[in-house]
Chains A and B, each alone.
Chain A
Amino acid sequence: MKPQHRLGAAALPRWTHPVAWWAWALGLVACVSRTTNPLLHALIVSVAGWVVARRRPEAPWANSFALFCRLGIVVIAIRVVVAMILGGGLGDHVLFTLPSIQLPDWVAGITLGGPVTAEALLSALYEGAVIAAILACIGAANSLASPARLLATVPAALYEVGVSIVVALSFAPQLVADVSRVQTARRLRGRPHRGVRALAGSAMPVFEGALERAVDLAAAMDSRGYGRTRPMKPRDQFIARVLVLISLIALSIGVYALVDGVDGSWVSWSFVAIGIICAMVGLRIAGRRSIRTRYRPDPWALPEWLVLLSGWIPAALFIAVAVNDPASLTGQTSPLQWPALPAIPAIAVLMAALPGIVTPLPPGGGPASTGVASELRRQEVLS
Chain B
Amino acid sequence: MITFDDVSITYSGATQPVLSHVNLTIPEGELVLVVGRTGSGKSTLLKCVNGLVPHFTGGTLSGRVTVAGRDTRTHPPRELADVVGIVPQDPMSGFVTDVVEDELAYGMESLGLAPDVMRRRVEETLDLLGLAHLRNRALMSLSGGERQRVAIGAVLTTHPSVLVLDEPTSALDPGAAEEVLAALQRLVHDLGVTVLMAEHRLERVVQYADRVIVVGGPGEAIRMGTPDEIMIDAPVAPPVVELGRLAGWDPLPLSVRDARRCAAPLRERLEPFVSDLSVATNMYGDEALSMSDAIVRHGHTVALRGISISAQAGEIVAVMGRNGAGKSTLLGTLVGLHGLNGGSASVGNAAPASLRGRELVTRVGLVPQDPTHLLVADSVRDECSATDLDCGLAAGSTRRTLDRLAPGIKDDTHPRDLSEGQRLALALAIVLAADPPIVLLDEPTRGLDYPAKQQLVAILKSLAQEGRCVLLATHDVELAADVATRVIVLADGEIVADGPAPDVVIGSPMFAPQVSKVLSPQPWLTVAQVARALEPAS
Interface residues of A (CB under 8 A from B): 57-61, 146, 148, 152, 163, 170, 181-182, 184-185, 187-192, 201, 204-205, 213, 216-228, 291-297, 363-364, 369-371, 373-383
The answer to whether B366 and A188 have CB atoms under 8 Å apart is yes
Asked whether, in the complex, the Cβ of A228 is within 8 Å of the Cβ of B81, the reply is: yes
CA distance A110 to B517 in the complex (A): 82
Question: Which of B7-15, B140-148, B205-213 is near enough to bind chain A?
Answer: B140-148
Query: How many residues on the B side are at the interface (Cβ–Cβ under 8 A)?
Result: 81
Q: Which residue of A lies closest to B47 (CB)?
A: A219
**Is B99 in contact with A59, judged by CB distance below 8 angstroms?**
yes
Residue in B94, B114, B144 whose beta carbon sits within 8 Å of that of A216 in the complex:
B94
**A217 — which chain B residues lie within 8 A by C-beta?**
93-94, 96
| B115 contacts A by Cβ under 8 Å | yes
Query: Are B368 and A373 in contact, CB atoms less than 8 angstroms apart?
Result: no
A-facing mask of B376-410, CB < 8 A → 1, else 0? Answer: 10000000000100110000000000000000000
In the A-B complex, list the 10 residue pairs whose CB atoms are closest, starting with the nearest. Answer: A374-B299, A220-B94, A225-B81, A364-B136, A295-B105, A291-B112, A225-B110, A190-B361, A216-B93, A377-B298
- Complex alpha-carbon distance, A218 and B78, angstroms: 11
User: B311 → chain A, closest Cβ, in Å?
Assistant: 19
Residue of B nearest to A178 (CB): B373
Q: Which of B225-233, B248-256, B321-329 is the contact stretch?
A: B321-329
Number of A-B contacts (CB under 8 A): 191
With an 8 A cutoff between CB atoms, is B470 at the interface? no
Expressed in whole angstroms, the Cα–Cα distance for A185 and B332 within the complex equals 11
Q: Which residue of A lies closest to B90 (CB)?
A: A216
Q: Return chain A residues, CB-CB under 8 Å to B368.
A: 184-185, 188
| Chain A hits for B324, CB < 8 A | 381-382
Q: How far is the CA of A379 from the CA of B299 in the complex (A)?
A: 12
- A228/B94 contact (C-beta < 8 A), A187-B335, A188-B365 known: no
Q: Does B69 count as interface, using CB distance less than 8 angstroms?
A: no
Interface residue? B445 (CB, 8 A): no
User: In the assembled complex, which residues on chain A have CB atoms less than 8 Å from the CB atom of B93?
Assistant: 213, 216-217, 220
A61 CB contacts on chain B under 8 angstroms: 98
Sample 18 A-B pairs with CB under 8 A, ordered by A number.
A61-B98, A184-B373, A185-B368, A187-B337, A190-B361, A190-B391, A219-B94, A220-B94, A222-B77, A223-B85, A224-B106, A228-B112, A291-B111, A293-B108, A295-B118, A364-B136, A371-B299, A381-B298
Contact A189–B361 (Cβ < 8 Å): yes
What residue of chain B has the Cβ atom nearest to residue A228's Cβ?
B78
| Cβ B115 vs Cβ A188 within 8 A | no
- In Å, the complex CA distance between A182 and B140 comes to 21
In the complex, the answer to whether A374 meets B107 with C-beta atoms within 8 Å is no
For residue A383, which residues in chain B have a CB less than 8 angstroms away from its CB? 144, 171, 323, 328, 369
> B77 to A295, Cβ gap below 8 A?
no
- State whether the Cβ of B113 lies closer than 8 Å to any Cβ in chain A: yes
Are A373's CB and B299's CB within 8 A?
Answer: yes
Contact of A224 among B76, B107, B140 (CB under 8 A): B107
How far, in whole Å, are A201 and B390 apart by their CA atoms in the complex? Answer: 14
**Contact between B301 and A378 (Cβ–Cβ < 8 Å)?**
yes
Seed contacts A185-B376, A187-B360, A217-B93; 15 additional CB < 8 Å A-B pairs: A60-B138, A188-B361, A188-B366, A190-B357, A218-B56, A219-B94, A220-B86, A223-B78, A223-B94, A224-B78, A363-B136, A370-B141, A374-B299, A381-B298, A383-B369
What are the residues of chain A within 8 A of B198 when measuring CB–CB?
none
Q: Is B113 a contact of A293 with CB atoms below 8 Å?
A: yes
Instruction: A226 to B391: give the CA distance in the assembly, Å.
Output: 49
On whether the beta carbons of B374 and A295 are closer than 8 Å, the reply is no
| Contact (Cβ within 8 A) A293 B390 | no
A148-B97, A224-B106, A381-B326 are contacts. A219–B56 as well, Cβ < 8 Å?
Answer: yes
A292 touches B88 (CB 8 A): no
Q: Which B residue sits closest to A13, measured CB to CB?
A: B136
Question: Of A219, A295, A369, which one neighbours B119 at CB under 8 angstroms?
Answer: A295
Closest-by-CB residue of A relative to B387 is A189
Evaluate contact between B102 and A374: CB separation under 8 angstroms: no
Q: Which of B98, B144, B357, B373 contacts A192 (CB 8 A)?
A: B357
CA distance A376 to B113 in the complex (A): 34
B110 touches A228 (CB 8 A): yes
In the complex, whether B420 has a CB less than 8 A from a CB of chain A is: no
In chain B, positions 32-84 with a C-beta closer than 8 Å to chain A are: 50, 52, 55-56, 76-82, 84
User: With A190-B390, A225-B82 as given contacts, are A60 and B141 in contact (CB-CB < 8 Å)?
Assistant: yes
A189 & B326 in contact (Cβ 8 Å cutoff): no
CB-nearest residue of chain B relative to A192? B357
Contact residues in B for A377 (Cβ distance below 8 Å): 298-299
Cα distance A350–B325 when bound, in Å? 47
Within 8 A of A (CB), among B310-324: 323-324
Q: Which residues of A contact B434 (CB under 8 A)?
A: 190
- Is B430 in contact with chain A by the CB < 8 A criterion? yes
With contacts A59-B98, A216-B94 known, is A189 near B76, CB below 8 A?
no
